């Protein structure tokens, strides 16, 4: 159930004193091969953290030997000094692993704008290298070391009957939005794959998993998803079967992020059907998922479909109020853009809410996962800088 | 200081029992001429309330004798029955005022999805007509009758040295967003104006006032701003001077809405300069103003400029992190995309926060007014359906 599930991978997670409280804050994931193919997807934020700039650069080779990840600081808005820290981190890992810095990606998460304590990071890389192991415990330690406001470590894996597997770890609890959450994720596989097939598979998996999670509409400076392939199973994977397995692991991880989102009291799925296109369905679902009035109504267990209809109406998608149906937790509340009665029949007292929006215009469908807007979200994001 | 400040206008506000609690809920504003020129700006939401559909239709004539406004129900998502209620309301006003229904606009605000009690509304129009007066008290009564979650009535006026004046009332406290707030506003003037000049003046004024207020990014189904010109002063107004006065009144009203927004503890001005265009400046300012993580940081009096930089970075505008400066309450916190120090020097303990973002790319500038995201916002929008 971790990045060490596939053969050929070792991991470690340690406390490097990047975080003042002494909690684990540095992880290392190493691909021992025989293959070292890799692909990455990064934030579309124009303000990119130093480790994102570094990792995008090294990923152009399509190869990775290792990934260093740290919590306790995003190394974003840190200028040349911050970029040098990311570079030095990769150099240090290369030194202890006996490879080139160009084979090492770096990921960071935490407060934007502060320099990382470079010495602590570099010393931590050395310590982590000494603790690398291919065990589930080592995978869990890595997943634990990248937690910020996460309350639980997040891992997933899939083992295919054909003899290969996919594993993954992720973090992310706030600033979670399209083009990925404030999230870092490392995915591993021991399937033998054409290196050219890795990036399409990763993009396809991310598009319908991490990209469909939207907690607060905020897009991070640090989002990174990396896929490392070792080929250690010796088994060639069918590209379609591999993409499906990778997608399943990514969806599992995305659901874990939804369940652990900051201040969450309700897990909400916004399902749109009947849109003119899939893009329109995503647009409508995302607009509803982001609407503060919808999110506060859900927190209050109030089946306020009028706020949903209003959000549908201001989305940048084709919408006809005359063919708009809204169903919450199985109860049809609005049909043809008009109240269908039954508002008090919809029971929203539980933790799961499903909002179904039928637009009646075409075949486009999509689902966005989100959460409610609670007192705890406000508390967590106002009382603590992050 | 109200819609009755300009000559030629009478107003009334009464309790028509649309609201169950017996508070005032119906207003009437009448233009006694000699001119009856009018212009309107409406929500761009594709789900439009019945009174919006009605009023857009009657405004095509460019003339209005009266406006009926109600709180206690938005008459949105109410289908043909809702439209008939809006029509019947105009017919009733026409009957008691001795004009045609085509000369009467209707505005509604309140819960989406419920039918208005038509008989109560029609009886209320009759009652209000009997109380019409040109006094400040009558203007205040009208402004009071359209309040929903507003805590104070909102009015403004400007009297020009040339001998004409502009007055206005508004409401709106939540679901406040671009293309106007969940707001209704009636503006009056006794200036003698070319009817063709009214709409451009209104659009110009709204563009830099109501359209630059963004409390929660939610766009209402009911937003309506109407401008009525009586010509009763007998004084021709210079179009530029009139537009400037109208803009000043609209900005005054927008600031009153900002100050009374749901759950507000901080009034925040987001000022962007150095953008590649004015549109880009608006886009960046709006993205920052809507960001939940920025808004919660402001609630916590935390000068978290990193969240601002992240929001700037994911806006749909041209942005170069290398030339990005962020200043909060006069303290430069980020320059060239990197920490400038002084984070603890910025004092955000007061009620006013000014966020200045210099993009260093061009001459585009714009300001968006917003508020923080507080516990009270969550409380108000989760505990009470509206």
Check B109, B182, B224, B370 and give the catalytic one: B182
Domain-ending residue, one of B202, B231, B259 = B259
Separation between Cα atoms, residue A146 and residue A162, nearest integer Å: 32
How far apart are alpha carbons B169 and A64 in whole angstroms? 64
For residue A33, the model assigns a pLDDT of 93
Query: Do B314 and B200 fall within a single domain?
Result: no
Q: Is B202 within 8 Å of B227 (Cβ atoms)?
A: yes
Do residues A273 and A179 both lie within one domain? no
Task: Evaluate whether residue B117 is within a structural domain.
Answer: yes
pLDDT at A177 over 60: no
Q: Is residue A1 part of a domain?
A: no
Inspect the interface and report whether the beta carbons of B381 and A111 lie closer than 8 Å: no
Query: Could you tell me if B232 and B190 are in contact, meaning their C-beta atoms sit under 8 angstroms apart?
Result: yes
User: Looking at residue A385, what is its pLDDT?
Assistant: 54
Arithmetic mean of pLDDT, A158-185: 75
**B296–A378 CB contact, under 8 Å:** yes
> Where residue A128 sits, what CATH number does that domain have?
3.60.70.12
Below-50 pLDDT ranges, chain B: 175-181
Q: In this complex, do B292 and A76 lie within 8 Å of one another by their Cβ atoms?
A: no
pLDDT (tens digit per residue) in B259-302: 887 778 899 999 999 999 999 999 999 999 988 889 888 998 98
| Token output for A365 | 């469908």
Q: Please name which of B297, B241, B274 lies closest in space to residue B364, comparing C-alpha atoms.
A: B274
Largest CA distance in chain B: 68
pLDDT bin (cut points 50, 70, 90) of residue A276 is very high
b/e B347-356 (16+ beta carbons within 10 angstroms → b)? ebeeeebebb
Task: For residue A16, give how far its alpha carbon lies from the nearest alpha carbon of chain B (Å).
Answer: 24
Domain of residue B313: give its range.
267-383
Residue contact A378–B373, C-beta within 8 A: yes
Mean pLDDT across the stretch A224-232?
A: 95
Interface of A with B in 18-47 (CB under 8 A): 44-47
The β-bridge relationship of strands B267-275 and B352-358 is: parallel
Query: Residue A63 domain-assigned?
Result: yes
> Considering only alpha carbons, which residue of chain B is nearest residue A378?
B296
- Co-location of B128 and B21 in the same domain: yes
Residue B191 shares a structural domain with residue B326? no
Residues A207 and A294 in one domain: no
Last residue of a domain, one of A259, A290, A322: A259
Q: Give yes or no for residue A219 having a pLDDT over 80.
A: no
Instruction: Look up the CATH number of the domain holding residue B277.
Output: 3.10.20.340
Residue A182 bears catalytic tag: yes
B159 and B234 assigned to the same domain: yes
Q: Element (H or E) spanning A128, and its range?
A: helix A118-130
pLDDT tens per residue, range A281-294: 999 999 999 888 89
Q: What residues of chain A, 181 to 220, have a C-beta less than 8 Å from chain B?
A: 216-220
- Within this chain, do residues B186 and B77 fall inside the same structural domain, yes or no? yes
- Same domain flag for A222 and A74: yes
Helix axes A292-299, B375-383, angle to 10 degrees: 70
- Asked, for residue A3, whether it belongs to a domain, the answer is no
Asked if residue A185 is part of any domain, the answer here is yes
Distance (Å, whole) CA A343 – CA A307? 13
Tell me, rounded to whole angstroms, the distance of Cα B89 from its chain centroid.
23
| Residue A379's pLDDT band (cuts 50, 70, 90) | confident
pLDDT tier at A263, thresholds 50, 70, 90:
confident
Residue B306 pLDDT:
87
Residue A357 lies in a domain: yes
What's the pLDDT band for A151 if we cut at 50, 70, 90? confident
B174 part of a folded domain: yes
Calpha distance A55→A189 (Å, rounded): 19
Residues A218 and A73 in one domain: yes
Task: Please tell me the distance from the alpha carbon of residue B258 to that of residue B251, in angstroms, as a whole number.
Answer: 10
| Cβ contact, residue pair A175, B293, below 8 Å | yes
B286 near A CB under 8 A: no
Please, what is the Cα angle at B194 between B192 and B195, to 5 degrees?
A: 105
How many domains does chain B contain in total? 2
The verdict on A255 and A271 lying in the same domain is no
Select from A213, A236, A259 the last residue of a domain: A259
Residue-wise over A323-352: b if at least 16 C-beta within 10 A, else e?
A: ebbbbbbebbbbbebbbbeebeebebeeee
Whether residues B223 and B182 fall in one domain:
yes
Q: Same structural domain for residues B139 and B72?
A: yes
Q: Is residue A197 part of a domain?
A: yes
Lowest mean pLDDT of A52-56, A202-206, B321-325, B342-346, name the range. B342-346
Longest dimension (CA), chain A: 68
What are the start-end ranges of the H helices in chain B? 50-59, 79-97, 118-130, 136-145, 195-207, 239-259, 278-290, 292-299, 305-314, 375-383
How far off is chain B from A156, nearest CA to CA, in Å? Answer: 28
């Amino acid at each position: 159930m971790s990045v060490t599930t596939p053969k050929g991978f070792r991991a470690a997670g340690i406390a490097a004193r990047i975080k003042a409280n002494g909690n684990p804050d540095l992880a290392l994931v190493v691909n021992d091969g025989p293959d070292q193919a890799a692909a990455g997807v990064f934030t579309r934020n124009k303000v990119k953290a130093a480790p994102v700039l570094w990792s995008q650069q090294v990923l152009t080779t399509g190869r990775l030997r290792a990934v260093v990840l740290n919590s306790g600081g995003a190394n974003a808005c840190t200028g040349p000094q911050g970029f040098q820290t990311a570079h030095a981190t990769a150099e240090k890992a290369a030194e202890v692993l006996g490879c080139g810095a160009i084979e090492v990606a770096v990921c960071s998460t935490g407060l934007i704008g502060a320099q990382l304590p470079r010495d602590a990071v570099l010393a931590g890389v050395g310590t982590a290298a000494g603790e690398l192991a291919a065990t589930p415990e080592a995978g869990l330690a890595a997943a634990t070391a990248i937690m910020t406001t996460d309350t639980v470590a997040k891992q997933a894996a899939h083992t295919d009957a054909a003899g290969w597997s996919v594993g993954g770890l992720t973090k992310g609890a706030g600033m979670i939005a399209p083009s990925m959450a404030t999230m870092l994720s490392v995915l591993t596989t021991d399937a033998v794959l054409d290196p050219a097939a890795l990036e399409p598979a990763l993009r396809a998996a991310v598009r319908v998993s991490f990209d469909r999670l939207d907690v607060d509409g905020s897009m991070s400076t640090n989002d990174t998803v990396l896929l490392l392939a070792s080929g250690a199973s010796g088994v060639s994977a069918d590209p379609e079967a591999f993409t499906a397995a990778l997608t399943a692991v990514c969806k599992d991880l995305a659901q874990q992020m939804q369940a652990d989102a900051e201040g969450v009291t309700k897990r909400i799925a916004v399902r749109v059907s009947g849109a003119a296109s899939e893009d329109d369905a995503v647009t409508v679902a995302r607009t509803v998922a982001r609407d503060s009035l919808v999110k506060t109504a859900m927190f209050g267990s109030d089946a306020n479909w009028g706020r949903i209809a209003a959000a549908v109406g201001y989305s940048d998608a084709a919408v006809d109020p005359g063919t708009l149906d809204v169903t919450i937790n199985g109860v049809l509340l609005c049909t043809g853009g008009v109240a269908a009665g039954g508002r008090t029949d919809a029971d929203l007292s539980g933790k799961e809410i499903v909002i179904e929006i039928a637009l009646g215009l075409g075949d486009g469908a999509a689902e966005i996962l989100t959460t409610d807007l609670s007192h705890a979200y406000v508390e967590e994001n106002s009382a603590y800088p992050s």
